[in-house]
Amino acid sequence: MSAKSFELLLQTAFAPETPQVFEGPSTTVYQQLEQALKQSRLGKGDKVSEEVGFRFERLRLGVAIALIKAYARLADNEGAKDVLHLLLEAVKAKNTREIDKIIQKKIGLFDNLYHEIFVNEEREHLLALFEQTLDATSKEELDDLILEGLEALQEIDFDAPQPDEDDDEPLDEDFLKSIQ
């Protein structure tokens, strides 16, 4: 897996906007995890272990942000937008404890993601990938999710009308009278 794939996932999820997720380039987030993992293999103590955890969380948040952004674009769901804002706030944290504190404070927002899903395979698939991202425990799992997310986002036509969108046509008055 590469840092470029991670960057492409974010770019695809945010298109046509430019992703403003991290202070620097998104590729750096991926590379920092790789560097921290390399250091941990050299066995440099608890500080390195904390660094690996923090770098992993930032990458995981980045993948989650990409997936929830794509879901929000597809579903126009207020709950998804709230979760996106929460994740964007969490990604600015300076350590793993701060990330946990930010997320735990508003953990209930995740429950609202499942309202207004309707039956839509693309939305369900994005939410499933999002959930898998939150459950991921290794870089390899995140690598697989980045690739699967990229593949899913490539197949979605974000400009196509969604089946649950209002069709702006006025309701037939005769029909309305018949159901009263």
Please report which residue ranges of the chain form alpha helices under DSSP H.
3-14, 26-41, 46-75, 78-90, 96-105, 121-135, 139-155, 173-178
Position 72 scores a pLDDT of 87
The pLDDT, as a whole number, for residue 69 is 92
Q: How far apart are CA 171 and CA 85, in angstroms?
A: 36
Tokens, residue 67: 């997936």
In a domain, 15, yes or no: yes
**Number of independent structural domains in the chain:** 1
In a domain, 24, yes or no: yes
Distance of CA 164 to the CA centre of its chain: 22
**pLDDT at res. 169:** 47
Note if the pTM is more than 0.85: no
Pick out the chain residues at pLDDT < 70.
1, 44-46, 114-119, 161-180
Does residue 73 form part of some domain? yes
Let me know if residue 7 belongs to a domain.
Answer: yes
For residue 121, give its domain range: 3-158
Distance CA 10, CA 31 (A): 15
Give the per-residue pLDDT at 167.
44
Is 170 domain-assigned?
no
